[in-house]
Amino acid sequence: MQPVVPAWVIQMTEAEFAKREEEWLASLKNENLDSDIEIKPLEVEINEITRDGLIKFKFNQDIHEPDLIKEAKKGSMKINRRSLSSLDSIDVGKFISIFFVMKSDVDPGAIEFFLNLEKWEGSDVWLRVNFTQPLLVSKGSL
């Protein structure tokens, strides 16, 4: 008994596959591409942190804005039947990790927070850190 091949699977010979691969690779080449273009490494610094948890990141170049962000700004993105109506609908914690180094006796593991993407413009990205218990991070040491 032969296995059932799903309808969405395209069956082809090795030769057909090689031909399609060659066509695809040729389509990726851009004759106008200047091989002398200098590609700068991406650098980021924290430009500012406000008392209310807003962190402004400054990159050394404009950052490509993913379609997810563009659509969320417009309020028109739907993921798994859930509408993203704004930037704060995006779970930034899935993409960014933040670790705290404390100067007080507070256990960094006890600090719970969530992140919101506030703004994304060119080389500037703003995130807001919302602490579930803000007094833990402002306790300080005596």
Question: Is 16 within a domain?
Answer: no
Question: Is 7 within a domain?
Answer: no
DSSP 82-129: EEE-SGGGS-GGGT-------SSS--GGG--EEEEEEEEETTEEEEEE
Question: Is 91 within a domain?
Answer: yes
Tell me the residue range of the domain where 54 lies. 35-137
Question: Is 50 within a domain?
Answer: yes
Residue 63, H or E segment? none
One pLDDT digit (tens) per residue for the chain, 142 residues = 666 665 655 666 888 878 888 887 777 666 555 566 677 888 999 889 888 888 899 999 988 777 767 776 676 545 444 444 566 666 777 777 777 777 778 888 888 888 888 888 889 988 888 888 888 777 655 5
Question: Is 119 within a domain?
Answer: yes
- Output the six-digit token pair for 84: 């993203």
Question: Is 54 within a domain?
Answer: yes
Specify the number of domains making up the chain: 1
Question: Is 80 within a domain?
Answer: yes
- The verdict on pTM exceeding 0.75 is no
Question: Is 126 within a domain?
Answer: yes
